[in-house]
Structure formats: structure tokens, C-alpha cells
Amino acid sequence: MVKSYTAFTSEIDDVELAVSEILEQLEPEKNCLKNTVAVVTCYYEFAVNGIIAELYRKLKFPIIGTTTSALATNQGFGHLGLAVMMMTSDDVTFTAASSSSLLNDLEAPLTRMYQNALEGHAQTPKLILSAGPLLLNHAGDYYVDILGKASGGVPNYGTLAIDDTANFENSYTIFNDTFAKDMFCIIVASGNIHPKFFFSSISSEKILVHPALITKSAGNLLQEVNGRPLYDYLDAQGMVSNGKIRQGLNSLPLLLDRADGSQVISKVLIYLNEDGYGVCGGLMPEGSTMSIGVWDRDDVVATTLQTVERALSDENVSTLFMYSCYGRSLALGADIFAETDNVSEAVAGKVSYLFAYSGGEICPISGSANPNQFHNNTFVGCVF
């Protein structure tokens, strides 16, 4: 059994005051059991100004996390904040590990990270909680596939870092008292823990373009659709202007059906490169069909609340993690806290929860030979 406690602070200038506020809410001396870890999410300054490093020195147990553009927890929500989820248990083993730089290689650092995290586990792990970097030269699917291979398919749930700058230049992952733009971090859990997973992207009535066949691709490069160059296909749909995809298209979901019996998942077209190929946020396999959806505020809120309702249907749930794609927040317009506000109201005092915006979502799905999947433009939830 896992007991979870949350904390929040918006104190960004005074390290000692910020840490004391977090400690007063978590009460680790009173609440910590045999094994304890924490997941954090924050505005980037909390990582770079030493607040999280000092928090780690006081807590003395592992911390992983990511920067985000907005967040929420039982104790508060906002943009310029730090949220902490502390998980503790007598019959669940938690361990944590981080990777070396992923700039030049993925497989060796991620495999070694997982092997390091296994130390101390007497049983097969039941959950990986992931905090990954936003590296546009790597499809997020590669992270998931490598960790799936290394772990033998242990369920993997988590997020990629994000921030609110135009080029996401302040997107960091966090491990204990360190932070980096090219580091992956995980918590591995075994024992008496039974995670369940939920996700949603867009309502069916919001599908803008009928399914089209992906006829040529290379990894996350989308090259041809329906036998035509991607540029020509998008141009015919009225989605190209002056040689570039229209503003806002790169935040719209591409609903991907891989024709393998698995659930439809969402990917995103980030930009067109000099060859007219679409650089996507995830793998776009040939033979799949894709549909383009369009969001509005109400649909983002509705799909989020429907997913939260499903997640909370189990009365035995004590802990709820939620990540929502940064692209979904762009559909909220001026009502920037519509999703965080509604999540806070829906969850209220029912369970300990952590919500944050994401640069890419990691969440298992059903009906696939490889359940662990990487998503874009999706709201994902994990409960236990």
C-alpha cells in the first residue's frame, strides 16, 4: 500500500522559505514509512535557483521530475509554482536512477539507468515512473521502446519536460539535486502496488479530416500521405500558407490508427523541414491511417474530466498522477487555467494528486503487443 502526500509553493525567491513551506505540508518526519520517493513538477526557476536541490538535502530520499508550463496539486495550482508528490510505503520498494547525456546515444544510457534502478528490488517491478527530456532530434517512442526492452515490458508512465518559452529552452529534467536538458530519470516500484492507466485526446466529433493512409515515412519523418508528398496533401487540405503549415496546425492532434488492433493514439506535426517532410513528435509508421482533429476549450476540459472520472471510479485509489500535453493548453485561449481549475474541482479532497503540462506523454494502452506507448496532444492518468 502506498500513502501519498502533496505540497505546493509559489515562493520562488527565498530558498529557505520555499523549502520550509514544502516540509510543513509534507511532514516527512511524521509521515514517511520504510520506503519513500517524490515526484516534482515546477516552473523552471525552482530547478535552477537551488530550491529543489535544498529540498533534496532536507528530505534525503530520491526526487525525480520535470519543468512545466502550469501545474496543480491538492495544495494549490498555478504557473509560477512548485508541486511535490511524496509517496511512501512499508510494502512497496521504490528506487530511482538517472541517465547520462542522451544527446549522442539513447540505448546504452537508458538501459544502464534501468539496470541501476533495479538494485534493491527482490520482486519484478510493477511500475516505472518516467521524467524525460524534450529532445526534438529523438522521437519519444524511442525512449519508451528502449525502456520496454530493458525492463521486459514493465508498465511505464510519465512525461517529457516542457516550459512556456517559444523554443522550450528552459525545459529541464530533475534528479535529486541536479537538473539537465538531456537527462532521463525514473522511479521503479515493486511490491504491493497495482497501477491503472487512462488516456484521452479528442472527441470523435472534433475530427477535421477523414482518415488518410501514410504511404511513406522514416521514423518520425512523415513523407507521403495517400501516395502524395505530405506538402501537397496538406496544401490540398488548405493547411499550408507561404510554404509553411498554417499557424496552430502544429498543436492539433493527428489521430493515428496503426491497423494492429491497438487503440488509436495521438501524435503531433511539429514543423515541415527543408524537404517538405513533416517532423512529428512520435513515430509515424507506414500503413497507418491518420486523421486530423481540431480542439476547442470545451472539448479539452470535457475529455479531461471524463478521464478523471474513470480514474476515480475505483474507491481504493489513493494516488493520481495526471499529465496533459502542452498543445492542449493552447486551445484554452485566454482561459489558461480552465483545465487545472476543473481538475482541482473534480479531484478535490478525494485523493492525493499531481497535474502538470507535458512535452510528450508516456502511458500504456490496451490491445497492443507493446502496451507502453508514447503520446502527443493527450491527457494521461495513472492511479494506484
Whether pLDDT at 303 is above 70: yes
**Which residues, 6+ apart, have CB-to-CB distance to 267 below 8 Å?**
253, 254, 256, 280, 281, 282, 283, 284, 290, 375, 376, 377
Q: Which sign does the torsion angle of CA 214, 217, 220, 223 carry?
A: negative
- Phi/psi for 287 (5° steps) reads 90, -10
Q: What is the pLDDT of residues 343-352, one digit of tens each?
A: 989 998 899 9
**Predicted confidence (pLDDT) per residue in 354-374, tens digit:** 999 999 999 998 766 678 999
Is the confidence at residue 240, as pLDDT, over 80? no
Positive or negative, the Cα torsion across 308, 129, 202, 270?
Answer: positive
Look-up of cell digits 516542457: 162
pTM of the model: 0.91
Pick from 129, 41, 49, 31: which is nearest to 84 by CA?
41
Grid cell listed for 336: 489558461
Quote the CA–CA distance of 144 and 110 in Å, as a whole number. Answer: 10
Query: For residue 206, what pLDDT band results from cuts at 50, 70 and 90?
Result: confident
Angstrom distance (rounded) from CA 287 to CA 291: 13
pLDDT tens column, 94-114: 999 999 999 999 999 999 999
Q: What is the dihedral of CA 201, 205, 206, 208, to 10 degrees?
A: 120
